[in-house]
Amino acid sequence: MIARKLSRRGAQPLARRISQAPSPFVAYATPWAAVALASIMPCWPLVAMAPVMPPLGFMSLLAWRQVRPGLLPIWAGLPLGLVDDLFSGQPFGCAIFLWTLTLITLEIIEARFPWRNFITDWLVASLFLLAYLAACVGFNQHGVPADIMPPWAYIGVQMGLTVIAYPMVGRVVGWIDRWRLTRFRVVG
């Protein structure tokens, strides 16, 4: 029964899992690469005239943090936020600051409320995402003429899309997490 369970869980049958182990490099490098890639990719699919794309980099950071607490260290906002800052169009340092603030706050929240399920995870992540998008708009208001308001109609749509898309990002992160621990290295 255990054998059946195991073979259903992974793509590989049990016989091929014996004496094999996940590669430590892949296991540790994957979350970093996945978040960096999620920061870079949203620039490509369309040349947009208004803010519409969800902040995929920040969403995948939150998802990794919730799927695997403790895998990304608390200082992960420095390298990952730096990559995001290079591509997002925000003022440099914005993502480093906001991502680190998020990781610290999440740590505090987790210590206070350790019990989690799908709904609370989504709720907490939604609050962080909305606050992040609003903060990004605030960062960009510096130097803008006083009578030019941020395009709130588009930002509202972007916020809605972001909240709805978050569980899907979490699911994709879950798939990547399972692939990350695939046993393809032969031991001994």
Partner 1 sequence: MVPPGNRRSTYSRRALNNIFFGYVAAGAILLGGGGLALASYASPESFGGLRVLASDMVQPVAKLAAQGRAGLGQTFANLQAYATWGPENERLKREVAIGRVKAVELAAAQQENKRLQAMLQLGEVSPKPIAYGWLVASSSGSTRRYATISVGSNQGVQTGMPVRTAMGLIGRVLEVGRISARVLMITDAQSVVPVRRASDGLPAFATGKGDGTLQLRLLTLGINPLKPGDAFVTSGSGGLYWPDTPIAVVSSLTRDGAIARVLGDPAVSETVAVYPAWSPTQDATLPPPAEDVTPPKPAAKAKAQ
What is the contact surface with partner 1 in residues (CB under 8 A)? Answer: 40, 42-56, 69-70, 73-75, 77-78, 81, 83, 85-98, 100-101, 103-104, 110, 114-117, 136-137, 139-140, 142-145, 147-148, 150-151, 153-155, 158
**Residue 77 CA: distances (Å) to CA of 56, 58, 102:** 15, 10, 9
Quick one: 21 or 101, whose CB is closer to partner 1?
A: 101
| Cβ neighbourhood burial of 67 (10 Å; 0-12, 13-18, 19+) | middle
Torsion region of 143: left, alpha or beta (phi above 0 gives left; psi -120 to 50 gives alpha)? left
Shortest Å, Cβ 148 to partner 1: 5
Shortest Å, Cβ 181 to partner 1: 16
Shortest Å, Cβ 162 to partner 1: 9
Quick one: 68 or 183, whose CB is closer to partner 1?
A: 68
CA dist 38 and 45 (Å) reads 12
Q: Which DSSP string do the residues of 8-60 spell out, in sequence order?
A: HHSSS-HHHHTTEE--HHHHHHHHHHHHHHHHHGGGSS---SS--S--HHHHH
Shortest Å, Cβ 122 to partner 1: 14
Quick one: 3 or 168, whose CB is closer to partner 1?
A: 168
Quick one: 30 or 55, whose CB is closer to partner 1?
A: 55
